[in-house]
A and B are shown apart, each in its own frame.
Chain A
Amino acid sequence: MNCVRKLLLARELSARRGILRQAALGRDLPWLQGSSCAQCFWPVPVRSIRSSTALSRSELVPSAREDKEKDRGSRDGFLVPFDELFERAHEGDRNKAAFSRAVELFCQRDIRRRGHVEFINAALRKMPEFGVERELDVYNKILDVFPKEVFVPRNYIQRMFNHYPRQQECGIHVLEQMENYGIMPNKQTKFLLLQIFGEKSHPVRKYQRLMYWFPKFKHVNPYPVPAALPRDPVDLARISLQRIAADLSAKVTVYQMPLTDISDAGKEITQPHIVGTQSPDQQELLACHNPARPVFVEGPFPLWLKKTCVYYYVLRGEPLPPEEKEEVIDSERNFYYPMHLDLDLDRDLWDDEEFYVDDVVEGPIFAMCMAGAGDQATLAKWILGLQQTNPILSQTPVVFHLTPGPRERELQAASDSESGEEEIPQSWHAKQEL
């Protein structure tokens, strides 16, 4: 297959650049001697290939100029034909199948794949539109558009200089887009790149760098966010709360399920969800809280999960006054060994491993919750639910310190915020994603 493809390419190239063949004939290089099949089956086109490679160097300058023209062209709507290709391909939905069809259309249209760099650039731009920006096989398909073998340097001089720079750059673009979306190349990608650009070319180097760093970064986050966040606001709240609480003993309780109902009077009643979390430690802290001192409900505070922002509320107390903070260890506490030594000696400097940090004293946090609405009535229901497991809460004054969150502002703008989450439309931006 390979040699057939090579021959086709060779023909194409020789046809395009045949005019200058004579000038280049004298500078043949035995680049294909290793590739035996090409040489023994079809000696004549081999020669034409030789000449064409030689020519490519002589063409460097004009082609660069051409690039500039094309760049200008793209800005002026030169690329419209390729965009049209995509428009034509999606008769129904914009999806992976439609995108693949467009790529196939381009490949079938012209055996010489003329304008493939422009097509690839357009395809990369179109990917998010078709929702295929995270599909590895689509990237491989795009790379497959490149003609094979042609851009592989054949001698050390080609290797030294930037061989087919525009094509190499385009290949790097493809890889960069993969990088930005966090798509790890696979074996096929490597195979294609080697076939297209050859070893030690810039795209292959880029590929190698990706393969060096991506696996290292894959599990670098100790608290990974699931790839697909749940749609259900209650499930989402559950995940988020488990994430903030970071205590395996903490229990998430759904105090109220979301509900939309039509009352008898025909009025629509919506009941926002309330999901809360509390760990046994927090419960203990709250049990020890002096009921004379109020506790506060504060919020909303934002929590970002990838591109989704959710808001949570906390129930907290004031920082303890210093006289209550000191815990006295009862000497009759442990039946077996002394819990503290009656010595007038402190820890030495060298073993004091606590370094100075600017400690900001914060009050204890007793519980956290997420709710479908941030009004006091909803949060009061949460406190009511908490009272069942924390009886002391019914004797403690609860103060609501609520700031109007983005949701409230949104509500004023009469937009829908029932889901309790907010999709921030983010224009795709490379650096921001990583």
Chain B
Amino acid sequence: MSGLSLLLRAARAAFPAGARQIRTGGLRSAYAKELFLGKLEKEEVFPYPEISNEELEEINQFVGPVEKFFSEEVDSKKIDQDAKIPPETLKGLKNLGLFGMQIPEEYGGLGLSNTMYARLGEIISLDGSVAVTLAAHQAIGLKGILIAGTDEQKAKYLPKLASGEHIAAFCLTEPGSGSDAASIQTRATMSEDGKSFLLNGSKIWISNGGLADIFTVFARTEIVDKDGAKKDKITALIVERAFGGVTNGKPEDKLGIRGSNTCEVHFENTKVPVENVIGEIGGGFKVAMNILNSGRFSMGSASAGMIKKLIEMTAEYACTRKQFNKKLSDFGLIQEKFTLLAVKAYVMESMAYLTAGMMDRPGVPDCSIEAAMVKVFSSEGAWICVSEALQVLGGLGYMKDYPYERYLRDSRILLIFEGTNEILRMYIALTGMQYAGKILTGKIKEMKKGNVGVAMEIFVNKFRDSMGRKVDLGLIGENGVAHPSLEESSKKLEENIYYFGTTVEGLLRRFGKTIVDEQLVLKRVADVSINVYAMTAAISRASRSIGIGLRNHDHEVLLTNIFCTEAYFKNNYAMAELEKYAAENLDDSIKKVAQQVLEKRAYICSHPLERTF
């Protein structure tokens, strides 16, 4: 195995370092943000990002052995039952270099681009426990060192982390703190000589907590700010288990991803040298946000990989099992499920690789909204797909003898970790709103002041919209970037984007900065933007496929058209709701019901058999 890995690394080194970069202009990525203004930045997403032939060849060289390893040497059933990944499996993963996929080669990693990382993620996701162990190690655990560490820190820690000799863990969550930085209790106190910190506190639900040797810990430190006042701020620290005082609880028993190690980690007077601060002292908040934002995009390809595998397994069953002298695959309701699986997998894949491609562009593209969109879409899609696949299998899917129920349990975590989908929806909507608000404030203020010119402009626009405006954002037609066979879908996308822009403007006019409290509104905004991004990704990818004549591109056109049509209607419904006031779109009633239930903390209806006389 290690020989193979060496070979792979050698092959990897043969290619020039710059080759993996996709060279398409140095623009800051702002596709998703521009959507909130009703604009389609087609240069950002068209053409669909590609990798060079060399890179493709290179990644395929990785894919083969990894796939073989996962199909032959990873016993997912045993991992799930024993709630432990056997040491030999871990060793195999290390030998393949999978512990250092994104660590640059100079530190002994594979130095994969985001796109290539996503590609491997597809295969790794075939076992949820392994995928989570690897992700906790490199997507968040060592990411801090990678993106904000000093050269010394990198040189000191990355080589061992890349080889898998050391495993990393990310310690943010505490019993009293999920996403609230203010309630972090772990404290790092600077020693008198100013050379080290004493770390005290407990972290819970730490993936790899029991295996890890290197922890990225977020702790509260006292900072003296400019005007001399003392203030508590979050600092990110690299903590080695060898520093002493690090203990962990027993592994938690979980619903899914049972093989991954999740436990409490306690720090008791752990002495951490000042050199181990990631970023600057008191700058831990930014570090945490950057790590969290950068780790999400890979979930798209991982979910897609899992669904593709599921399609293979369930299709096999559906095409062989007979009922009433008919194969299951001949029933419309079963066919519908396979279409759903294919559409979701296609769109997820398109979004994931589009985002990865955007992130691989030179410069420092900020794709955090897109990554969050990918995470929300793919995690929910995965959950639905696994459940539908289970439905195809009927009772069989429910049995522990078969792997399907494990997929269901494993995929449930996707909606929860790395920021719950609810939180990410807030992030998507609020970040977009903030961007659009900055630009639109002037215009809206003018209108509110009673500037006749601006008001007339808005009125005329509204009037033209209501008369059935033809929206043309340049996807189709002369200089069009989408393939003409996707004209209908492209038109739908354009229309959605245009009206999304007007909806956002209307919302800003109505709620202004108080929109942060309108979570039901924000949820719809996020949903529309996610759908729009998904439509874009699908159209872009399908256009490319037709353009270069990939195999089965007509199938892709079908999938794209199905998805775009469905998403178009969902978007229109959501936007119609957004234009209404709270009393009309049920928001008031929804809140009222919740309030009444929560006041009593119970279901409050009388029993149907109850009587009053």
Q: Do A and B come from one complex?
A: yes
Interface presence of B601 (CB below 8 A): yes
Binds B, one of A26-34, A82-90, A210-218: A210-218
Min CB distance B557 to A, Å, is: 36
The answer, among B180, B234, B512, B606, for a CB contact under 8 Å with A345, is B512
Interface presence of B612 (CB below 8 A): yes
Interface presence of B172 (CB below 8 A): yes
List the A side residues contacting B511 at CB < 8 Å: 347-348, 351
Decide: A340 and B292 in contact? CB cutoff 8 A: no
Decide: B612 and A335 in contact? CB cutoff 8 A: no
List the B side residues contacting A268 at CB < 8 Å: none
List the A side residues contacting B582 at CB < 8 Å: 351, 353
Decide: A215 and B181 in contact? CB cutoff 8 A: no
Binds A, one of B426-434, B453-461, B564-572: B426-434
- Residue in chain A with minimal CB distance to B291: A335
Decide: B516 and A335 in contact? CB cutoff 8 A: no
Knowing A341-B515, A343-B434, A346-B513, the reply to whether A336 touches B292 (Cβ < 8 A) is: yes
Interface presence of A231 (CB below 8 A): no
Min CB distance A312 to B, Å, is: 22
**In the docked arrangement, what's the CA distance between A332 and B601, Å?**
32
Decide: A335 and B613 in contact? CB cutoff 8 A: no
Interfacial residues, chain A to chain B (CB-CB below 8 A):
184, 186, 211, 214-216, 218-219, 248, 330, 332-348, 350-351, 353
Decide: A332 and B437 in contact? CB cutoff 8 A: no
Interface presence of B419 (CB below 8 A): yes
Knowing A341-B513, A353-B582, the reply to whether A333 touches B445 (Cβ < 8 A) is: no
Interface presence of B581 (CB below 8 A): yes
Decide: B612 and A218 in contact? CB cutoff 8 A: yes
Decide: A336 and B512 in contact? CB cutoff 8 A: no
**Closest 6 A-B residue pairs measured CB to CB?**
A345-B512, A215-B612, A337-B427, A332-B285, A337-B426, A343-B437
List the A side residues contacting B512 at CB < 8 Å: 343, 345-348
Min CB distance A309 to B, Å, is: 27
The answer, among A330, A334, A344, A347, for a CB contact under 8 Å with B441, is A344
10 contacts between A and B (CB under 8 A): A334-B179, A335-B181, A335-B289, A335-B292, A336-B426, A340-B513, A340-B516, A341-B516, A343-B438, A347-B512
The answer, among A184, A336, A341, for a CB contact under 8 Å with B179, is A336
Decide: A337 and B423 in contact? CB cutoff 8 A: yes
Decide: A332 and B181 in contact? CB cutoff 8 A: yes
Grouping DSSP codes into helix (H, G, I), strand (E, B) and loop, the B interface class, with mixed when no group exceeds half, is: helix
Chain B 434-463, CB-CB to A under 8 Å as 1, else 0, gives: 100110010011000000000000000000
Knowing A211-B613, A345-B437, A351-B582, the reply to whether A333 touches B424 (Cβ < 8 A) is: no
Min CB distance B440 to A, Å, is: 8
List the A side residues contacting B288 at CB < 8 Å: 335
**In the docked arrangement, what's the CA distance between A159 and B292, Å?**
84
Knowing A332-B233, A335-B172, A336-B292, the reply to whether A341 touches B285 (Cβ < 8 A) is: no
- Residue in chain A with minimal CB distance to B424: A336
Decide: A342 and B181 in contact? CB cutoff 8 A: no
Interface presence of B255 (CB below 8 A): no
The A-contacting residues of B in range 358-379, CB under 8 angstroms, are none
Interface presence of B4 (CB below 8 A): no
Decide: A351 and B181 in contact? CB cutoff 8 A: no
List the A side residues contacting B419 at CB < 8 Å: 336
Chain B 544-577, CB-CB to A under 8 Å as 1, else 0, gives: 0000000000000000000000000000000000
The answer, among B182, B430, B509, B606, for a CB contact under 8 Å with A333, is B182
Of listed B172, B433, B513, residue having the most chain A CB within 10 A = B513
Interface presence of B323 (CB below 8 A): no
Min CB distance B95 to A, Å, is: 35
Interface presence of B514 (CB below 8 A): yes
**In the docked arrangement, what's the CA distance between A342 and B437, Å?**
9
Decide: B182 and A345 in contact? CB cutoff 8 A: no
Interface presence of B508 (CB below 8 A): yes
**In the docked arrangement, what's the CA distance between A350 and B580, Å?**
11
List the B side residues contacting A338 at CB < 8 Å: 427, 430-431, 434, 516
Min CB distance A314 to B, Å, is: 22
Interface presence of B321 (CB below 8 A): no
Decide: B233 and A345 in contact? CB cutoff 8 A: no
Decide: A341 and B437 in contact? CB cutoff 8 A: yes
Decide: B445 and A350 in contact? CB cutoff 8 A: no
List the A side residues contacting B234 at CB < 8 Å: 332
Decide: B508 and A345 in contact? CB cutoff 8 A: yes
List the B side residues contacting A184 at CB < 8 Å: 613
Interface presence of B510 (CB below 8 A): yes
**In the docked arrangement, what's the CA distance between A341 and B444, Å?**
16
**In the docked arrangement, what's the CA distance between A218 and B512, Å?**
45
List the A side residues contacting B612 at CB < 8 Å: 214-216, 218-219
Of listed B289, B438, B612, residue having the most chain A CB within 10 A = B612
- Residue in chain A with minimal CB distance to B231: A330
Decide: A342 and B182 in contact? CB cutoff 8 A: no
Knowing A219-B612, A348-B510, the reply to whether A343 touches B581 (Cβ < 8 A) is: no
**In the docked arrangement, what's the CA distance between A172 and B169, Å?**
80
Min CB distance A254 to B, Å, is: 24
- Residue in chain B with minimal CB distance to A347: B514
Given contact pairs A336-B426, A338-B427, A345-B513, enumerate 12 new A-B contacts (beta carbons under 8 Å).
A186-B613, A211-B613, A334-B181, A335-B181, A335-B292, A336-B424, A338-B430, A341-B516, A342-B434, A343-B508, A345-B512, A348-B511
Chain B 595-613, CB-CB to A under 8 Å as 1, else 0, gives: 0000011000010000011
Chain B 415-428, CB-CB to A under 8 Å as 1, else 0, gives: 00001000110110
List the B side residues contacting A353 at CB < 8 Å: 582
- Residue in chain A with minimal CB distance to B511: A347
**In the docked arrangement, what's the CA distance between A347 and B508, Å?**
8
Min CB distance A184 to B, Å, is: 6
- Residue in chain A with minimal CB distance to B419: A336
**In the docked arrangement, what's the CA distance between A344 and B512, Å?**
7
**In the docked arrangement, what's the CA distance between A219 and B434, Å?**
48
Min CB distance B227 to A, Å, is: 15
**In the docked arrangement, what's the CA distance between A214 and B292, Å?**
60
List the B side residues contacting A346 at CB < 8 Å: 512-514
Min CB distance A209 to B, Å, is: 13
- Residue in chain A with minimal CB distance to B429: A337
List the A side residues contacting B600 at CB < 8 Å: 248
Knowing A335-B181, A337-B430, A350-B510, the reply to whether A345 touches B516 (Cβ < 8 A) is: no
- Residue in chain B with minimal CB distance to A218: B612
**In the docked arrangement, what's the CA distance between A248 and B180, Å?**
24
List the A side residues contacting B431 at CB < 8 Å: 337-338
Decide: A345 and B441 in contact? CB cutoff 8 A: yes
- Residue in chain B with minimal CB distance to A344: B441
The A-contacting residues of B in range 263-296, CB under 8 angstroms, are 285, 288-289, 292
List the A side residues contacting B515 at CB < 8 Å: 341
List the A side residues contacting B445 at CB < 8 Å: 344-345
**In the docked arrangement, what's the CA distance between A351 and B508, Å?**
12
- Residue in chain A with minimal CB distance to B234: A332
- Residue in chain A with minimal CB distance to B173: A335
Knowing A336-B427, A339-B516, the reply to whether A347 touches B181 (Cβ < 8 A) is: no
Min CB distance A191 to B, Å, is: 15
**In the docked arrangement, what's the CA distance between A330 and B613, Å?**
56
Decide: A215 and B182 in contact? CB cutoff 8 A: no
- Residue in chain B with minimal CB distance to A352: B514
- Residue in chain B with minimal CB distance to A342: B434
Min CB distance B123 to A, Å, is: 29
List the A side residues contacting B289 at CB < 8 Å: 335-336
- Residue in chain A with minimal CB distance to B612: A215
Min CB distance A423 to B, Å, is: 30
Chain B 162-204, CB-CB to A under 8 Å as 1, else 0, gives: 0000000000100000011110000000000000000000000
Decide: A330 and B516 in contact? CB cutoff 8 A: no
**In the docked arrangement, what's the CA distance between A353 and B288, Å?**
38
List the A side residues contacting B285 at CB < 8 Å: 332, 335
Of listed A344, A350, A351, residue having the most chain B CB within 10 A = A351
Decide: A351 and B581 in contact? CB cutoff 8 A: yes
List the A side residues contacting B181 at CB < 8 Å: 330, 332-335
Of listed B431, B433, B441, B514, residue having the most chain A CB within 10 A = B514
